[in-house]
Structure 1
């Protein structure tokens, strides 16, 4: 099993992967406000790397998020369609976080992509990565990287504070079947 010891080693692993660098460059070049490669795209890459699997899995969704109140839901769908046409080798999922609070019960509208990521269901999923204009990485992990590095799955504080969200969390975990792919996952529920 690979052991990643710190943020620098994680970022080096992304930089050394041609698919991830292509994806991050495409996202940056889209020019969407507050855009990130997020959630399972980042988490799964790290888990695969730690599990001695091919880090990039072409079957995994490429979760691209951004935050722009001036882009409608319909326009977002058109942008996603264009991404899929222009780069069909990737499984693009493009989500404007302006609208995504509607999928989380009793949640106020998000104020940014970072705010949205901090309110994802699992702490290990609350992570984003992007390339800035200087081609330097920006990594956002509001709960740190320990859960990802230790294969721990547990709810974020946002989900813990509401019974309806926790029900959604449990349903989500039962549908994901992550333990089939990553045998050493540890599920920590309160």
Structure 2
């Protein structure tokens, strides 16, 4: 037994929304992250840089947990670490590029794996790149509600006391269940299918919930 009861809950129970609380899932995620040095370094660095509304999001978090659950190396399958922030005062490319270089300089050993983006300017380039409109966001956490899968919508930052803070608008049960679930707020079944195929190849244990044809 440990001092934190959530640590003793099996992953299968954490993946069942009826058998564990969201508080217990957040506690387990926090404890996992504390044992991953490069994750802690990233969230500590973006806190210390005082970037506005800055978070580590998506794959670098949920894929790390999947690697822990399946006893794989921590970096298995992780394409990049997405760092997002929100600066509505200057949504220019030039300002974003300065922040990208600032973060990379602060994390030289991880620079090649970092993807830093100002969420206040996503709507300015998204349609040209992906062929569909994207509404202006209100804050960094607003972006999580638009991800292709609800399972992807998880964010992490470090508070001034050095403790990880978790945000997951759709909860964490799907993450711990290794279950990929579509998010229909954006009509992008092709993106969902592409991501699902890539992840299934890397984590065969995944349960992929197919995109409902009615939501095309």
TM over 0.5, shorter chain: yes
Aligned residue in 2 for 1:77: 97
Aligned residue in 2 for 1:22: 41
TM-score by length of 1: 0.86
- Aligned partners of 2:69 and 2:190: how far apart in 1? 30
CA contact (8 A) 1:123 1:155 kept: yes
Aligned residue in 2 for 1:116: 143
TM superposition shift of 1:12: 0.7
Aligned residue in 2 for 1:154: 181
Q: Provide the secondary structure at the position in 1 that maps to 2:151.
A: coil
- Aligned partners of 2:204 and 2:78: how far apart in 1? 19
Relative to structure 1, is the Cα distance of residues 73 and 173 closer, same or farther in structure 2, using a 3 angstrom cutoff? farther
Does 1:170 find its partner at 2:193?
A: yes
Cα offsets for 1:8-41 (capped at 9, x unmatched): 1210111122211111101111211111000111
Does 1:180 find its partner at 2:201?
A: yes
Relative to structure 1, is the Cα distance of residues 69 and 187 closer, same or farther in structure 2, using a 3 angstrom cutoff? same
- Aligned partners of 1:156 and 1:100: how far apart in 2? 18
- Aligned partners of 1:37 and 1:11: how far apart in 2? 13
CA contact (8 A) 1:38 1:127 kept: yes
- Aligned partners of 2:53 and 2:148: how far apart in 1? 20
TM superposition shift of 1:3: 4.2
TM-score by length of 2: 0.76
CA contact (8 A) 2:45 2:106 kept: no
- Aligned partners of 1:37 and 1:157: how far apart in 2? 23
- Aligned partners of 1:47 and 1:171: how far apart in 2? 19
Runs of 5+ unmatched residues, structure 2: 1-8, 15-24
Runs of 5+ unmatched residues, structure 1: none
Aligned residue in 2 for 1:51: 70
TM superposition shift of 1:117: 0.9
Which structure: larger Rg? 2
Give the aligned length: 183
Q: Of 142, 159, 164, which aligns to 1:137? A: 164
